[in-house]
Chains A and B, each alone.
Chain A
Amino acid sequence: MEHVRNNYKAAEEGEEQEERKEDKPSSLIEKIQQLGQTNVPQLSQDSRIHCLTIIGQIEGHLQLPPQNKTTKYEHVIPQIVAIEQNPKIEGLLIILNTVGGDVEAGLAIAEMLASLSKPTVSIVLGGGHSIGVPIAVSADYAFIAETATMTIHPIRLNGLVIGVPQPFEYLDKMQERVIKFVTKHSKIPEEKFKELMFEKGNLTRDIGTNVIGHEAVEYGLIDEVGGIGEAMKKLNELIEMNKQKNEGFIQ
């Protein structure tokens, strides 16, 4: 008899627990409704133009110490994906002030930006050196501030590559990828870009060229000299053109 009663009790407790379980989510929903506070991002507040800042060093596979300012591809790439997917975002402004960094990470960001279906405009402020060059040219239209500089130089061995004869060919292939990307996405001829890349006497104890503002435009690397005002104007123009094109498709 005792045994049966115990069983009955246990069953009762079980029921109570189930009730509590059911209670929990409903009370939470109540709280949310009452306070109207959730952590869901509000889409209505989205800006029409988003801005991507490529600053400091472009971080590759090696995590840099926290005092370094870095652009991490694991931050940037999901942002680019989100920008592509969000219908409320109509254009992207890319602001560069970078010393360069990891070739693969830089090219990954550049490729993502180049394949974005929305209008993109980039501005180089301060510096857009080494791997910053492909990122700058990846946009639909590129601007450079008058005082901004871009260093074009051959890619360097600055990581872990096994010291056997292959690295030379490997580096050459890697360099070819950068050259191909830059010449495809800007007006600079391949010969000119290579010439700048292997120029002697411009950089201290290194080969390459440092191009400043107008020079970058002269070589065809960048489209125009300008700042934020010109860049926003151009981006708005491109957005309008993109809208008209899309409307044309529907009709």
Chain B
Amino acid sequence: MILYTMVPQELIFQPDMSEFDKLMEVTYDGVPLLVEMGEKNSCRIIRVLSSDPAHYLDPKYLPGNIIMTSHLS
């Protein structure tokens, strides 16, 4: 199927809304992070959103790390 249209792809094939719910922006120790909610109060870091380069060097905030939601503010 070829669609000849100027309508953006995202608008035609809209993603499931639940896809958006998984990701959350949180602050952990004052560092803004993008996390994916997991099971039992835990979440996995997807991306560091901070502008401070030092935060990217801290192993605590490495993408892929599991953090507990109870520590989030």
Q: Taking beta carbons and an 8 Å cutoff, which residues of A are in contact with B?
A: 39-42, 45-47, 49-52, 62-66, 75, 79, 82-83, 92, 157-159
Contacts and interface: CB of A to CB of B under 8 A. Distances in A.
Nearest to B14: A65
A75 B25 CA distance: 10
A39 B10 contact: no
Contact of B53 (A49, A64, A65): A49
B55 to A, nearest CB: 9
Contacts of A52: 51
A112 B32 CA distance: 20
Given A65-B19, A66-B19, A66-B23, A39 B49 contact: no
Contacts of A66: 15, 19-20, 22-23
Interface of B: 6, 8, 10-11, 15, 19-20, 22-23, 25, 27-32, 49-54, 73
A134 to B, nearest CB: 20
Nearest to A40: B30
Contact of A42 (B15, B30, B32): B30
A32 to B, nearest CB: 13
Given A39-B73, A62-B11, A157-B6, A45 B22 contact: no
B30 A46 contact: no
Nearest to B52: A47
B52 A46 contact: yes
Nearest to B53: A51
A40 B28 CA distance: 10
A41 B29 contact: yes
B69 to A, nearest CB: 13
26 contacts: A39-B28, A39-B30, A39-B73, A40-B30, A41-B30, A41-B31, A46-B52, A47-B52, A47-B54, A49-B53, A50-B51, A50-B52, A51-B53, A52-B51, A62-B8, A62-B11, A65-B15, A66-B20, A66-B22, A66-B23, A79-B49, A79-B50, A157-B6, A158-B6, A158-B8, A159-B8
